[in-house]
């Protein structure tokens, strides 16, 4: 997958409402997984408030749950090398504006993560 998540650089986001470029990430891992002692596969960043949640492939799917609970419509990948956005309103991937740093979780943070909480059979828990 390229830095656009399969989205070409010409495919810019048409509707940037719901994006606050000054919102900083809530941390380096999924907020809810951290609180519950859980784990994640990939991380997503809310483009409205900076909330970090786990992807829909992860066991708990907290990024989508955050959208459903708050109505914040746009997320961005929080993975190194990925800059794509996803708009839940029309289910489209695109490019978007540059967000406040950091742009991704620490590069030494494992995927899946975090270290020490990922079960040996983690692949059998993915959606």
Task: Give the tens place of pLDDT for each residue, 6-54.
Answer: 555 456 777 788 899 999 999 999 999 999 999 999 999 999 999 999 9
β 92-94/52-54 pair status: unpaired
Q: Give the model confidence (pLDDT) of 82-102 as tens digits.
A: 999 999 999 999 999 999 999
Single pTM value for the model: 0.90
Q: Would you list the domain boundaries of the chain?
A: 31-125
Give the H or E element holding residue 76. strand 74-77
Torsion of CA 29, 34, 37, 42, to 10 degrees: -30
Class of domain 31-125: alpha beta
């Amino acid at each position: 997958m390229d830095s656009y998540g399969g989205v070409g650089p010409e495919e810019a986001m048409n509707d940037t409402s719901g994006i606050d470029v000054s919102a900083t990430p809530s941390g380096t891992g999924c907020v809810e997984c951290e609180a519950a002692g859980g784990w994640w596969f990939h991380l997503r960043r809310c483009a409205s408030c900076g909330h970090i949640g786990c992807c829909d492939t992860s066991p708990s799917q907290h990024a989508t749950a955050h959208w459903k609970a708050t109505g914040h419509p746009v997320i961005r990948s929080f993975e190194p090398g990925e800059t794509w956005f996803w708009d839940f309103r029309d289910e489209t991937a695109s490019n978007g504006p540059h967000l406040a740093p950091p742009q991704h979780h620490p590069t030494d943070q494992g995927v899946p993560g975090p270290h020490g909480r990922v079960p040996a059979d983690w692949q059998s828990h993915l959606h």
